[in-house]
Amino acid sequence: MESKGDKSNRQLTGDGISFRDVLLSGVLNCTKVVLLEVPWGKGADWNYSGHWGRFCNFPLSGQSMSNTSSLLLSAALCYSNIERRHVVSPSVIIIGGGFAGIAAARALQDASFQVILLESRDRIGGRVHTDYSFGFPVDLGASWLHGVCKENPLAHVIGRLGLPLYRTSGDNSVLYDHDLESYALFDMDGNQVSQELVSKVGEDFESILEETNKIRQEHSEDMSVFRAISMVFERRPDLRLEGLAHKVLQWYLCRMEGWFASDADTISLKGWDQAIFLSEELLPGGHGLMVRGYRPVINTLAKGLDIRLSHRVSKIARRYNGVKVTVEGGSTFTADAAIVTVPLGVLKSNYIKFEPRLPEWKEAAIADLGVGIENKIILHFEKVFWPNVEFLGVVAETSYGCSYFLNLHKATSHAVLVYMPAGQLARDIEKMSDEAAAYFAFLQLRKILPGASAPIQHLVSRWGTDVNSLGSYSYDRVGKPHELYERLRIPVDNLFFAGEATSINYPGSVHGAYSTGIMAAEDCRMRVLERYGELNLFQPVMGEDTPVSVPLLISRM
Ligand SMILES: Cc1cc2nc3c(=O)[nH]c(=O)nc-3n(C[C@H](O)[C@H](O)[C@H](O)COP(=O)(O)OP(=O)(O)OC[C@H]3O[C@@H](n4cnc5c(N)ncnc54)[C@H](O)[C@@H]3O)c2cc1C
């Protein structure tokens, strides 16, 4: 699946006979795919002609063949110059080795495609990153399975691996991935907020959100969630909260901002709950933490795939019957099709040049969809000195000043707290050094637990500035339609798109990314089949051969 130059991605025809016809006639059988990396040199030709004629190095010099005999001659040369090869399955290049990319690669390899995956980092997983430097697994990216049920597209892998989950909530919690069963909230002076007040403000928060729903229906123009909440307070002063209750409300808002990785004044009122309420595919089963981390899942899916690490794609050229992908350093790869799964933030940065440019509607979708930031500052302590609850919180005057610590000791028995800032706060903390960021998190903890001892180790994620992600996950921006996710997914010729930001039902999630990878693989398979009609070559990529037989292992202490 390789080539060395540009020019002749046109269908090679001579006197009305296509190159494909020649191949089919049995004269030429030189299409065995060899996954080679060829340096991209000046003047080299891109002698690529789709999966029927891939990797034939006969000299075409960028001209189409003038007649059949010259084509046959070249074909004969090709036949004699290289080893006897078989007509093979089509080829695809997957760009990005997160859950979407690995899922697509797995599905297409299982469907007899020649697959090569190019990943810019020196590891797979993308925004799933389990770190073992503490001597046990901790996730710097995703750590929850949202929707612990057999309908979850990842359930079959997680179930078969026997990976344990720790339940942090059932369905329909106002706090998304937690319920109010096991927690402790404090004010800035270290006084614990009563559970009655927290529950009461939770109900108020739900009432406020219901009121914002009325505002949404009354206004054709979109607005931010923050603006809508302010309007609710104007028309329903009885819902306004004062003093400590106001601070607790800010803490609920802070958790909502964490869910969207963005501040309330940037989140679309029309869009914020689209994926949650309008989707018919809302997954039941609540939320479960991956106790052993997500790494075993991605490693299992990636087994046996041809993955090239440290291959940062800088250019994607598409022609009628193939794609050519250039990586940093100049090497190029060619194939029948490509699936782009790089994060939305990377697409927004325009680091990858598309040739020809992507259509306007696609560029607009990339520009208009929001990408937010949520980070993790993981603090490892010598021993546990905090209450035995699932999470700790600090309430404050504004959501920016509030804090949230996930207590991993509950789920994993390790003395670890995970501080998770989002939106502007996360952006500000990314400007600090790792040490300063860890100290900042520790200071928040010391506000509520003055006797807290310093952590012995820390880990700090930087999803916003990491060039491989440039953001944590997508969200609906004010005034932009939810359909942008779908527009981002829609293929452009032989370029397919996958990744969490292409999931209309489950954006911003691991299972969402995974299902878009499967979907893009199926779209790609269908396109190649339509083009070449090799129906008997492939297995369908959708769905599992066998139904889920292993139940998920979830518990709560
Ligand atoms: C802090 C945090 C917490 C989260 N928590 C959860 C959670 O608990 N549960 C949940 O379901 N979801 C969670 N998410 C979201 C989830 O991690 C993502 O939705 C999902 O992992 C995205 O997968 P993806 O394949 O779309 O993208 P990615 O995983 O980002 O994969 C894209 C890949 O493309 C690579 N790449 C980038 N540029 C190039 C290039 N030029 N050339 C080649 N390769 C390139 C990247 O290195 C990366 O490996 C969280 C995310 C973050 C950041």
**Token digits for 247?**
């601070």
Q: Is 251 helix (H, G, I), strand (E, B) or coil?
A: helix
In a shared domain, residues 248 and 178: yes
Q: Is 299 exposed, middle or buried (0-12, 13-18, 19+ CB in 10 A)?
A: middle
Measured distance CA(240)–CA(234) in Å, rounded:
9
Lowest mean pLDDT among 166-180, 322-336, 353-367, 506-520: 166-180
Q: Which of 30, 64, 86 is the last residue of a domain?
A: 86
131 or 557: which leads in pLDDT? 131
Work out the pLDDT band at 7, boundaries 50, 70, 90: very low
44 Cα to the center of ligand 1, angstroms: 35
What phi and psi, each to the nearest 5 degrees, are found at residue 99? -60, -40
Q: Which DSSP helix (H) or strand (E) runs through 130?
A: strand 130-131
User: Can you say whether the dihedral through the CA atoms of 154, 159, 161, 163 is positive or negative?
Assistant: positive
Looking at the CA of residue 502, tell me the nearest atom of ligand 1. 26
348 Cα to the center of ligand 1, angstroms: 15
Nearby residues of 90 by Cβ (< 8 Å), 6 or more positions away: 51, 113, 114, 335, 336, 337, 528, 532, 534
In a shared domain, residues 197 and 266: yes
Reported in sequence order, the residue ranges of 215-345 that DSSP labels E, i.e. its strands, are: 287-290, 307-308, 313-319, 322-327, 332-335, 337-340
Measured distance CA(396)–CA(249) in Å, rounded:
9
Report pLDDT digits (tens) over 332-383. 999 999 999 999 999 999 999 999 999 999 999 999 999 999 999 999 999 9
In a shared domain, residues 74 and 103: no
- The answer to whether 263 touches 206, Cβ cutoff 8 Å, is no
267, part of any domain: yes
Work out the pLDDT band at 153, boundaries 50, 70, 90: very high
- Specify which residues 378 forms β-bridges with: 418, 459
Q: What is residue 158's predicted lDDT score, i.e. its pLDDT?
A: 96
Q: Is 166 helix (H, G, I), strand (E, B) or coil?
A: strand
Mean pLDDT calculated for residue range 272-287: 68
Answer yes or no: is the C-beta of 294 below 6 A from any ligand 1 atom: no
23 Cα to the center of ligand 1, angstroms: 41
What phi and psi, each to the nearest 5 degrees, are found at residue 327? -110, 165
CA angle 34, 39, 45 (to 5 degrees): 80
531, part of any domain: yes
What phi and psi, each to the nearest 5 degrees, are found at residue 210? -65, -40
Q: What is residue 274's predicted lDDT score, i.e. its pLDDT?
A: 65
In a shared domain, residues 177 and 229: yes
Here the CATH number for the domain that contains residue 176 is 3.90.660.10
Answer yes or no: is the C-beta of 514 below 6 A from any ligand 1 atom: no
Here the CATH number for the domain that contains residue 475 is 3.50.50.60
Report pLDDT digits (tens) over 441-488. 999 999 999 999 999 999 999 999 999 999 999 999 999 999 999 999
**CA-wise closest residue to 3 among 53, 67, 62, 48:** 48
- The answer to whether 458 touches 377, Cβ cutoff 8 Å, is yes
Q: What is residue 543's predicted lDDT score, i.e. its pLDDT?
A: 44
Answer yes or no: is the C-beta of 130 below 6 A from any ligand 1 atom: no
In a shared domain, residues 240 and 261: yes
Measured distance CA(303)–CA(157) in Å, rounded:
13
Looking at the CA of residue 376, tell me the nearest atom of ligand 1. 1
Answer yes or no: is the C-beta of 293 below 6 A from any ligand 1 atom: no
Q: Say yes or no to pLDDT of 82 above 50.
A: no
Measured distance CA(115)–CA(535) in Å, rounded:
18
Measured distance CA(53)–CA(46) in Å, rounded:
12
- The answer to whether 37 touches 3, Cβ cutoff 8 Å, is no
510, part of any domain: yes
Work out the pLDDT band at 276, boundaries 50, 70, 90: low
149, part of any domain: no
Q: Please give the single-letter amino acid code of residue 515.
A: S
Report pLDDT digits (tens) over 434-447. 999 999 999 999 99
478 Cα to the center of ligand 1, angstroms: 23
Q: Which DSSP helix (H) or strand (E) runs through 288?
A: strand 287-290
In a shared domain, residues 100 and 42: no
**CA-wise closest residue to 273 among 351, 218, 179, 210:** 210
Q: Please give the single-letter amino acid code of residue 548.
A: V
Measured distance CA(75)–CA(25) in Å, rounded:
12
Residue 132 among known ligand-binding residues: no
Measured distance CA(222)–CA(456) in Å, rounded:
47
Q: What is residue 176's predicted lDDT score, i.e. its pLDDT?
A: 78
Answer yes or no: is the C-beta of 292 below 6 A from any ligand 1 atom: no
Answer yes or no: is the C-beta of 141 below 6 A from any ligand 1 atom: yes
Report pLDDT digits (tens) over 521-545. 999 999 888 876 654 444 545 444 4
Residue 550 among known ligand-binding residues: no
User: What domain range is 28 assigned to?
Assistant: 1-86
Average model confidence (pLDDT) across the chain: 83
Report pLDDT digits (tens) over 374-403. 999 999 999 999 999 999 999 999 999 999
104, part of any domain: yes
In a shared domain, residues 271 and 186: yes
- The answer to whether 142 touches 294, Cβ cutoff 8 Å, is yes
264, part of any domain: yes
**Token digits for 481?**
């339609």
Among protein residues, the one with the nearest Cα to ligand 1's atom 26 is 499
Looking at the CA of residue 468, tell me the nearest atom of ligand 1. 37
Q: What percent of the chain has pLDDT over 90?
A: 72
Which of 167-181, 205-219, 343-357 has maximum average pLDDT? Answer: 343-357
Among protein residues, the one with the nearest Cα to ligand 1's atom 38 is 468
**Token digits for 259?**
């869910």
At which residue do the structure tokens 């206004």 appear?
219
Answer yes or no: is the C-beta of 98 below 6 A from any ligand 1 atom: yes
Q: What percent of the chain has pLDDT over 70?
A: 79
Q: Which of 68, 86, 104 is the last residue of a domain?
A: 86
Answer yes or no: is the C-beta of 460 below 6 A from any ligand 1 atom: no
In a shared domain, residues 67 and 98: no
DSSP characters for 346-386? HHHHT-SEEESPPPHHHHHHHHHSEEE-B--EEEE-SS--S
Nearby residues of 68 by Cβ (< 8 Å), 6 or more positions away: 14, 15, 17, 22
In a shared domain, residues 473 and 367: yes
556, part of any domain: no
Report pLDDT digits (tens) over 39-52. 333 333 344 444 43
Q: At what angle do helices 225-235 and 195-218 cross, to 10 degrees?
A: 100
DSSP characters for 393-424? EE--SSGGG-EEEEEHHHHHSS-EEEE--BHH
96, part of any domain: yes
Q: Which DSSP helix (H) or strand (E) runs through 428?
A: helix 423-430
Cα distances from 37 to residues 34, 41, 458, in angstroms, run 9, 12, 39
In a shared domain, residues 106 and 61: no
Q: Give residue 493's region: left, alpha or beta (phi > 0; psi -120 to 50).
A: left
Q: What is residue 88's predicted lDDT score, i.e. its pLDDT?
A: 66
In a shared domain, residues 82 and 95: no
Work out the pLDDT band at 171, boundaries 50, 70, 90: confident
- The answer to whether 307 touches 117, Cβ cutoff 8 Å, is yes
How many structural domains are present in the chain? Answer: 3
| Alpha helices, H only, 169-288 | 195-218, 225-235, 243-260
In a shared domain, residues 433 and 486: no
487 Cα to the center of ligand 1, angstroms: 19
469 Cα to the center of ligand 1, angstroms: 7
According to DSSP, the β-strands at 307-308 and 114-118 are: parallel
Answer yes or no: is the C-beta of 407 below 6 A from any ligand 1 atom: no
Mean pLDDT calculated for residue range 498-513: 96
